[in-house]
Amino acid sequence: MTGDDSGYRFRNLLHNYIGDLLLGEAPWLNKTTVCSFPEPWYNQSSSVYHPINKSIHPTRSLSFYVGVYHNSMYGDLHVFMNTSANTLQMNYGIGSWLLYPKGTSDKFVGEGTNIVHKMIDLSSIQFHSSNLHGRSTINSVKVTSFETRAPPVFTKTSSQVNIGNIVG
pLDDT digits (tens, 9 = 90+) for 65-104: 999 999 999 999 999 999 999 999 999 988 899 999 998 8
What share of the chain in percent tops pLDDT 70?
79
Q: Is the pLDDT of residue 41 over 70?
A: no
On the question of a cis peptide bond just before residue 58, with omega within 30 degrees of 0, the verdict is no
SS3 content of the chain, % helix, strand, coil (to 5): 20, 35, 45
Tell me which of 15-19, 32-36, 146-150 is least confident: 32-36
What is the per-residue DSSP string for 23-71? TTPPPS--TTHHHHTTTTTS-----------TTPPPSS-GGGT-EEEEE
Nearest-5° Cα angle at 96, 107 to 85: 70
Between 41 and 72, name the one with better pLDDT: 72
pLDDT at 15: 78
**How far is Cα 166 from Cα 164, in angstroms, rounded to an integer?**
6
Q: Given this model, what pLDDT does residue 78 score? A: 96
Return the higher-pLDDT residue of 3 and 52: 52
Q: pLDDT above 90 covers what percent of the chain?
A: 42
CATH 2.40.128 residue ranges of the chain are 62-158
Determine the average pLDDT of the residues in 16-28.
84
- Whether the pLDDT of residue 49 is over 90: the answer is no
Query: Residue 5's pLDDT band (boundaries 50, 70, 90)?
Result: low
Q: Is the pLDDT of residue 2 over 50?
A: no
CATH topology of domain 62-158: Lipocalin (2.40.128)
Cα 140 versus chain centre, distance: 16
Which parts of 52-163 fold into alpha helices (H)? none
142, 109, 103, 144: which is closest to 123 by C-alpha?
109
